[in-house]
Structure 1
């Protein structure tokens, strides 16, 4: 099948072809016709399957006939809500690319950066708005955004949005839009809370599932290294020197861990950059741009900062800390081996993370390949250290007064 078979018009097809897309992916093939029929849709598909174009192309097509209103007269008719700033910026870039040969205008708004320039663009009038929930509600409260004309509402990465605690914001945004609208919900996985959200706000949705909820790409070699916690940095450096080549993302669980590893790699002569929630939006975007341009070849990130980031040529993913949620592992390694390429995933597992490996393997229905031949093996007999508090309760027996308190009291007898 080609994009021509999906009833998209010439200007949109031309822009898609120039961006290097001739044939739709499976998710696009299934989703685009339903969106063009104005149906509500729930789509479950991993990152890297072409989800953004699956809603961007048909939305542009639906708005195409009314694109010539003067800029001032433009009303926001499509709203895409995204959980993270990076993802929102990326979606907006896609809309920009696909709308090259139309007069449709789109913009993106997100927190962590000055609100005034965003207000200025909105006042000039846009057709399509991409937004993170918090900033969207701020701008609505200030009467800068009017959601009365929304025809299509897209909730992207719904599972992450709910994990990040945006459920109330999402419900509020949905209520601010007109009752009669098309709602599209995209999610990598469909846990119970996403299912509940879909039932609450969608009308008789069509369901599309591309690949299993937890499938990992066949093109990713998944390697597992058991290593004592104290030797993880040494093993990571050893692998970077001898084994892992090309463009790499290293995942750590905490912001502190990201910063610490970045300093260590820098001291050892590696070009690395990092993204996490404490960095300003500008700093995060700059780090990402440097990585995409090849100025640095290692990006160290926390999960929230890296979710949904589309980096086309990623050779390897390193799980420096294993995630405690098995689905997160699937998202992480889904960064590599996109669009038919091959990639590698390296996981460093210390004694206290062995349970995480168990739940990951159950989810992906696959045994990870254990690499035993490395300089820092973990003794299989080592049990994880469980830190217990040394305090064993009060030194005073319950009900007994201390000697000091007895001395202070003046007795009447």
Structure 2
């Protein structure tokens, strides 16, 4: 009996294996792409076949190219060099939950399609609509948008979605579970029923999967790693400090990394907008170049801050979760959770800003005793425990500040306080109410000078005219006697004997 041994070696897959157009290959070569990532390797052939997809992969693994490259390939037969807007209808709609992610996806799409006749643009809020309207009216095949601003353009009739052939929901879990569902449903109602729908994200809960299934037709589910898992290239550490010393701990970590020759550049995540701004100012006072980015910043300020961070002029980017989703900054060495996130899924997205494209990174979290429940939720999602370790070399003596305690108290108030508008100001009536002032004087209960009833002096009594029932009319009907007027003016009313 003869045994035949066959070579089971699988040939290496490259972008040439997908049969992509030479113009797309040229763009990939300029970007330095040679070998597809696992999510790209599995998603590109399925998307090219026109099937609906639910794709889950760890952050930083190239999900954008996984759907953008096959979409461009499928659109090439419809590309036109004509200047007429009618020859460039919107055929692909890509929706993202944040402005920064929308701008980043558009940048990638534009680079992949730069040698083709396909047009693309991006629309998001916080900036002037007129340039966006002009770009839409010139005609685009690929439109990247945030839901709210897209509906603004629909209302102004500057965009027509009746010829959309492919819909992409990037960071789909956030799109479906955080207030975007009504807007998303309105947008889907404007699209043709016969279309290809692609959902991509790093995390998919079972509830989101059931909800997304209503938008897809027999979808192909692609999970290249364990669902809701963190990148193995990221070293996760939790440092336990006493309450009130978190600001000092962040300063210690950043300065320690700089002293050891590592890059000081880092993203520091904070849960509240006011805490974000205050931490950035504290780092500046400690000699660390820092800037804050959160929802109360204008879009121009947010884009300028991100650009400065990418260019290296900013060492510490202090951010809320507006920077946790999809933000791609190459070679990001470090992420620090100043506050543990309220949602365990957000932890995965936060630490996914480092360790991207095969690189390694550090994800450090500051833990205080009150964070136990949040950390347990994160460990349940990761299906692993994260050891709590003390911060070596950190002397908490004097590190805690009254300002940090005020930040925590105001952060809690920020959640409960009613907002009048989106600029973070309190309602006008509350701002003008002296009783709401934090600095309002409160006398001590054991100070008899402030607690005893008002007793006018003998000189004050002698200086007042004798007011009787006969001459009380001289002061007007119902008007109090001068003695009571003076008492009310000075803050008290004399007791009746």
- Normalising by structure 2, report the TM-score: 0.74
Distance across 1 between alignment mates of 2:89 and 2:81: 9
Distance across 2 between alignment mates of 1:148 and 1:267: 54
1:8 corresponds to 2:3: no
Please say if residues 3 and 13 of structure 1, whose CA atoms lie closer than 8 Å, have aligned partners that are also in contact. yes
Superposed CA offset, 1:219-277 (max 9, x none): 22211111122111111112222236412000000111110001101111111122111
Distance across 1 between alignment mates of 2:125 and 2:376: 37
Tell me which residue corresponds to 1:113: 127
1:22 corresponds to 2:34: yes
**SS of alignment partner, residue 211 of structure 2:** helix
The answer to which of 351-360 and 89-98 deviates more is 351-360
Runs of 4+ in 1 over 6 A off after TM superposition: none
Q: Which runs of 5+ in 2 are unaligned?
A: 1-12, 398-407, 413-497
The answer to which of 298-307 and 361-370 deviates more is 361-370
Distance across 2 between alignment mates of 1:218 and 1:56: 25
Tell me which residue corresponds to 2:118: 104
Distance across 1 between alignment mates of 2:89 and 2:343: 41
Tell me which residue corresponds to 2:107: 93
Cα drift, residue 76 of structure 1: 0.5
Cα drift, residue 69 of structure 1: 5.0
Please say if residues 252 and 301 of structure 1, whose CA atoms lie closer than 8 Å, have aligned partners that are also in contact. yes
1:212 corresponds to 2:226: yes
Cα drift, residue 364 of structure 1: 1.4
**Residue 245 of structure 2, aligned match among 231, 235, 242:** 231
1:348 corresponds to 2:366: yes
**SS of alignment partner, residue 104 of structure 1:** coil
Distance across 2 between alignment mates of 1:185 and 1:340: 23
Tell me which residue corresponds to 2:74: 62
Tell me which residue corresponds to 2:167: 153
Please say if residues 58 and 231 of structure 2, whose CA atoms lie closer than 8 Å, have aligned partners that are also in contact. no
Cα drift, residue 325 of structure 1: 1.5
Cα drift, residue 214 of structure 1: 2.4
- When Rg is computed on C-alpha atoms for both structures, the one with the higher figure is 2
1:140 corresponds to 2:158: no
Please say if residues 231 and 376 of structure 1, whose CA atoms lie closer than 8 Å, have aligned partners that are also in contact. no
1:266 corresponds to 2:278: no
Tell me which residue corresponds to 1:241: 255
Distance across 1 between alignment mates of 2:111 and 2:45: 21
Tell me which residue corresponds to 2:270: 252
**SS of alignment partner, residue 208 of structure 1:** strand
Please say if residues 59 and 231 of structure 2, whose CA atoms lie closer than 8 Å, have aligned partners that are also in contact. no
Superposed CA offset, 1:98-146 (max 9, x none): 0111011100000111111100111111110000000111101111110
Tell me which residue corresponds to 1:357: 375
Instruction: Map 1:369-408; keep pairs closer than 5 Å.
Output: 369-372=387-390, 373-375=392-394
Please say if residues 15 and 25 of structure 2, whose CA atoms lie closer than 8 Å, have aligned partners that are also in contact. yes
1:290 corresponds to 2:308: yes
Cα drift, residue 371 of structure 1: 2.8
Distance across 2 between alignment mates of 1:280 and 1:211: 37
Cα drift, residue 377 of structure 1: 7.0
**SS of alignment partner, residue 312 of structure 1:** coil
Instruction: Map 1:43-58; keep pairs closer than 5 Å.
Output: 43-58=55-70
Q: Which runs of 5+ in 1 are unaligned?
A: 379-384, 388-413
1:34 corresponds to 2:46: yes
Change (3 A) 1:111 1:193: farther
Cα drift, residue 374 of structure 1: 4.1
**SS of alignment partner, residue 214 of structure 2:** helix
Distance across 1 between alignment mates of 2:361 and 2:249: 20
Superposed CA offset, 1:265-292 (max 9, x none): 1111111122111111111111111111
The answer to which of 222-231 and 145-154 deviates more is 222-231
- Aligned CA RMSD, in angstroms, stands at 1.8
**SS of alignment partner, residue 23 of structure 1:** coil
**SS of alignment partner, residue 229 of structure 1:** coil
Distance across 2 between alignment mates of 1:148 and 1:218: 43
Distance across 2 between alignment mates of 1:198 and 1:92: 24
Distance across 2 between alignment mates of 1:150 and 1:363: 36
Cα drift, residue 42 of structure 1: 0.8
Distance across 2 between alignment mates of 1:265 and 1:327: 27
The answer to which of 224-233 and 186-195 deviates more is 186-195
Tell me which residue corresponds to 2:405: none
